[in-house]
Chain A
Amino acid sequence: GESVGLHLPTLSVQEGDNSIINCAYSNSASDYFIWYKQESGKGPQFIIDIRSNMDKRQGQRVTVLLNKTVKHLSLQIAATQPGDSAVYFCAENFASGGSYIPTFGRGTSLIVHP
């Protein structure tokens, strides 16, 4: 999602709940999307990806949904755990001058309460 000012959108959930994090992307021509997880004090790490010829992809406890019509991505985390607390970014490999640039959304902070 989008954020205004210095504060990221925040999602607070209870341990064991399912979490859904949403993201809007900018370029209708992009055909590869990635979700990254960033824990405090660390760099972003790859979680799951999806190509534009798919609308759903599942990993271990995570599912990514892609709606190309409205340029929307979502990340679903099943049975959320305290270790899932982090900032989550969606990204697209944006085509620019013959190369592809990972371009990031602003991020969503997920807080999991025990």
Chain B
Amino acid sequence: NAGVTQTPKFRVLKTGQSMTLLCAQDMNHEYMYWYRQDPGMGLRLIHYSVGEGTTAKGEVPDGYNVSRLKKQNFLLGLESAAPSQTSVYFCAIRDGSKNTEAFFGQGTRLTVV
């Protein structure tokens, strides 16, 4: 998925640990999104950003924080990981137009034990 890079690709955390997931884009798109994907649940929006310095809550924001200090980067933080946060996390980007598709990163598989 050219243009959207997520790091790390895999991580195992212990309950209570913290971590930050990084999404970096080189397409100069305004909108960035963090989703989580669980079996049978599709993609659920955690937080999103419509531009540098702005963030907003999505459908499932609890337990996560985000920051968009630079246009090309969108960080997702877990302050105190819980087993319920075991999931695959996807970052997506989109330009500011109404009728355009999203581009996704390859995902981060996070396991909290």
Contact = CB atoms under 8 A, between A and B. Distances in A.
A103 B45 contact: yes
A44 B40 contact: no
A32 B98 contact: yes
Interface residues of A, number: 31
Contact of B48 (A32, A46, A93, A101): A101
Contacts of B58: 101
A67 B71 CA distance: 37
Interface string A40-55: 0111111001010000
A59 interface: no
B106 interface: yes
B19 interface: no
A43 B90 contact: yes
Contacts of B92: 43, 102
Contact of B106 (A8, A36, A43, A102): A43
A44 B90 contact: yes
Contacts of B102: 34, 44, 46, 91, 102
Given A43-B1, A44-B43, 7 more contacts: A43-B4, A44-B90, A45-B1, A46-B103, A49-B101, A100-B98, A107-B42
Query: What 8 pairs between A and B have smallest CB-CB spacing?
Result: A43-B104, A106-B42, A32-B99, A6-B40, A46-B101, A104-B43, A6-B39, A102-B102
Interface of B: 1, 4, 31, 33, 35, 39-43, 45, 48, 50, 56, 58, 90, 92, 94, 98-107
12 contacts: A4-B40, A6-B39, A7-B39, A34-B102, A42-B1, A43-B90, A43-B107, A46-B102, A51-B99, A97-B56, A104-B43, A106-B42
